[in-house]
């Protein structure tokens, strides 16, 4: 039985794409001009994608081995561009799909986020979203005058107040406040623009915002909540969640939990779309795809340095210190990404770190095959999980290339559309409305 239609999106940083790939061409040296991502947006809209979501971080990490060498050698978290200014560029070369950028509640003032996102919503005619992160790296905090980030759970408490302030600022202009009445001489009606006078535990903001909210009112809110505190925050505020629980059973459990929490917060469960991160491996035949997957998953020294380097950055634990041929020590803790460390701890149970890395699965489910067979697999997974869609992520060091994008846009997406599984048009005028359509 076919699943209901689901949403399809792409998860990416604004960073060097697939520079080790033989298909990279000149992108390792030119990607910062935005052309690669503009081409990508055109292809994905043609394919029927709902949105592109840009993660972000603002550090050059020396957590792995006490040096920035590994981060810069492999281009893990740097160089990376700010995705926010990219949004209107992408909107100019597309007509319908949405674009989400990341801004951290630990570093940005609420007024700045509210103003930037309202401006972007106007510039894109209602096609932007904000990925809300609390950040997990003290190194990033030290770029903003902080010696250490707040404890994990308190960061979410601060984020809850932060997003409340941002929404109040978006609402500080009533609809119709701009009257542009030449006869009375009023551009804006001052009786419809209101200070918010927020005075809380973490923020004090007078308001009002100095421009009205954009076409969406509140832009789409995106979040990734893995820990219990993160799940509760996401279910309270987000329109879209990105997640990678491993396997259909965990995917279903995660989605059911988020939906139940959303109802507990007085929301309609269908207003929260849970998107699962995948990295489809496509070939002209099943054997081709399996060989590509085998090569991609080879545990080379580059792969070890890349995987452990990324884990070191997100958890703020130096994984270079550990013996790869021994289990992960039991006393390892983090104030960073707690769910990421916990997932790795589960994978290393009864195994050495090297053995766990050999079986590491970064996506929610493995999808390997021809475009037709992978589309069928995605259909089956969504039917089992219940919804709401997939976030495709090209492996950033080797496969995030124009070639891989076209494999998805010209190979997989048409097969999904033929089965009625993804959208064939964008009937609504805004990103949020199209997202809520099914």
- In our burial notation (b when 16+ CB lie closer than 10 A, e otherwise), range 232-259 reads bbbbbbbbbbbbbbbebebbeebbebbb
Residue 106 lies in a domain: yes
Residue 237 has pLDDT above 90, yes or no: yes
pLDDT digits 0-9 by tens, 249-293: 999 999 999 999 999 999 999 999 999 999 999 999 999 999 999
Q: Stretch 143-166: mean pLDDT, rounded?
A: 95
Q: Stretch 8-23: mean pLDDT, rounded?
A: 92
Work out how many domains the chain is built from and give that number.
1
Say how far apart CA 101 and CA 222 lie, in whole Å: 9
Q: Stretch 43-47: mean pLDDT, rounded?
A: 98
Say how far apart CA 67 and CA 82 lie, in whole Å: 23
Residue 206 lies in a domain: no
Decide if 98 contacts 10 (C-beta within 8 A).
Answer: no
Give me the DSSP letters along 143-170.
GGT-SSPPPHHHHHHHHHHHHHHHHHHH
| CATH classification of the domain holding 267 | 3.20.20.30
Residue 299 has pLDDT above 90, yes or no: no
pLDDT digits 0-9 by tens, 48-101: 999 999 999 999 999 999 999 999 999 998 999 999 999 999 999 999 999 999
Residue 364 has pLDDT above 60, yes or no: yes
pLDDT band for position 372 (cuts 50, 70, 90): very high
pLDDT, mean over the chain: 93
In terms of pLDDT, which residue wins out, 117 or 328? 117
Residue 139 has pLDDT above 70, yes or no: yes
Q: How confident is the model at residue 362, as a pLDDT?
A: 73
Residue 1 has pLDDT above 50, yes or no: no
* Torsion, CA 416, CA 421, CA 427, CA 432, rounded to 10: -110
Residue 396 has pLDDT above 70, yes or no: no
pLDDT band for position 346 (cuts 50, 70, 90): confident
Minimal CA–CA distance to 406: which of 280, 233, 277, 315? Answer: 280
* Torsion, CA 283, CA 288, CA 290, CA 291, rounded to 10: -130
Residue 428 has pLDDT above 70, yes or no: yes
Q: Stretch 104-128: mean pLDDT, rounded?
A: 98
State how far Cα 255 lies from the chain centre: 16
Say how far apart CA 208 and CA 411 lie, in whole Å: 48
Q: How confident is the model at residue 336, as a pLDDT?
A: 66
Q: How confident is the model at residue 277, as a pLDDT?
A: 96
Say how far apart CA 305 and CA 285 lie, in whole Å: 31
Q: Which residues contact 406 (CB under 8 A, 6 or more apart)?
A: 43
Residue 336 lies in a domain: yes
Q: How far apart are the first and last CA of the chain?
A: 18
Q: At what angle do helices 301-315 and 338-347 cross, to 10 degrees?
A: 140
Residue 161 has pLDDT above 80, yes or no: yes
- In this structure, is the dihedral angle defined by the CA atoms of residues 342, 345, 349 and 354, taken in order, positive or negative? positive
Decide if 166 contacts 218 (C-beta within 8 A).
Answer: no
Residue 205 lies in a domain: no
pLDDT band for position 300 (cuts 50, 70, 90): confident
Say how far apart CA 379 and CA 131 lie, in whole Å: 27
Decide if 212 contacts 126 (C-beta within 8 A).
Answer: no
Residue 187 lies in a domain: no
SS3 of residue 278 by DSSP: strand
Residue 27: enclosing H or E segment and its boundaries? helix 27-30
The count of C-alpha atoms lying within 13 angstroms of the C-alpha of 6, restricted to the half-sphere facing its C-beta, is: 26
Cis bond upstream, residue 105 (ω within 30) = no
In terms of pLDDT, which residue wins out, 49 or 300? 49
Q: How confident is the model at residue 342, as a pLDDT?
A: 78
pLDDT digits 0-9 by tens, 190-206: 999 999 999 999 999 99
Residue 200 lies in a domain: no
Minimal CA–CA distance to 328: which of 295, 301, 351? Answer: 351
pTM of the model: 0.93
Residue 195 lies in a domain: no
Residue 203 lies in a domain: no
Tokens of 369: 């095959």
Say how far apart CA 402 and CA 392 lie, in whole Å: 14
What is the span of the domain harbouring residue 123? Answer: 7-171+213-435
Q: Stretch 396-425: mean pLDDT, rounded?
A: 92
Tokens of 44: 């994905």
């Amino acid at each position: 039985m076919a699943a209901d239609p689901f949403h399809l999106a792409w998860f990416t940083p604004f960073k060097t794409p697939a520079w080790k790939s033989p298909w990279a061409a000149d992108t390792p040296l030119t990607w910062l001009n935005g052309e690669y991502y503009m081409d990508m947006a055109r292809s994905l809209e043609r394919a029927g994608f709902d949105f592109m979501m840009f993660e972000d971080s603002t550090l050059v990490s020396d957590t792995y081995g006490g040096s920035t060498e590994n981060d810069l050698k492999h281009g893990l978290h740097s160089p990376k561009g700010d995705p926010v200014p990219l949004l209107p560029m992408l909107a100019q070369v597309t007509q319908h799909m949405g674009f989400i950028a990341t801004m951290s509640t630990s570093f940005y003032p609420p007024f700045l986020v509210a103003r930037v996102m309202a401006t972007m919503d106007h510039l894109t005619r209602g096609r932007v979203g904000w990925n809300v992160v609390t950040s997990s790296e003290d190194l990033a905090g030290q770029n903003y005058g902080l010696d250490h980030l707040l404890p994990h759970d308190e960061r979410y408490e601060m984020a809850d107040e932060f997003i409340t302030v941002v929404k109040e600022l978006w609402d500080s202009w009533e609809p119709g406040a701009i009257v542009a009445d030449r006869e009375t001489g009023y551009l804006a009606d001052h009786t419809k623009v209101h200070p918010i006078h927020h005075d809380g535990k973490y923020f004090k903001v007078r308001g009002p915002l100095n421009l009205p909210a954009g076409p969406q009112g509140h832009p789409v809110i995106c979040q990734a909540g893995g820990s219990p505190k993160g799940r509760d925050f996401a279910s309270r505020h987000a329109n879209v969640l990105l997640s990678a629980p491993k396997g259909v059973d965990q995917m279903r459990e995660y989605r059911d939990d988020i939906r139940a929490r959303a109802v507990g917060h007085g929301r309609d469960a269908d207003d929260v779309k849970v998107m699962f991160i995948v990295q489809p491996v496509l070939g002209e035949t099943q054997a081709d795809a399996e060989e590509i997957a085998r090569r991609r998953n080879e545990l080379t020294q580059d792969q070890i340095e890349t995987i452990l380097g990324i884990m070191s950055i997100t958890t703020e634990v130096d994984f270079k210190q550990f013996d790869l041929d021994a289990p992960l020590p039991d006393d390892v803790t983090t104030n960073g990404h707690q769910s990421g460390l916990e997932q790795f701890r589960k994978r290393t149970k009864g195994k050495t770190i090297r053995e766990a890395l050999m079986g590491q699965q970064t996506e929610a489910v493995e999808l390997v095959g021809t475009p037709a067979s992978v589309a069928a697999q995605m259909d089956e997974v969504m039917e089992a999980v219940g919804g709401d869609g997939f976030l495709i992520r090209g492996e950033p060091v080797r496969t995030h290339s124009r070639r891989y994008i076209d494999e998805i846009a010209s190979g997989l997406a048409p097969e999904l559309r033929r089965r009625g599984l993804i959208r064939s048009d964008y009937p609504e005028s805004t990103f949020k409305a199209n997202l809520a359509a099914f």
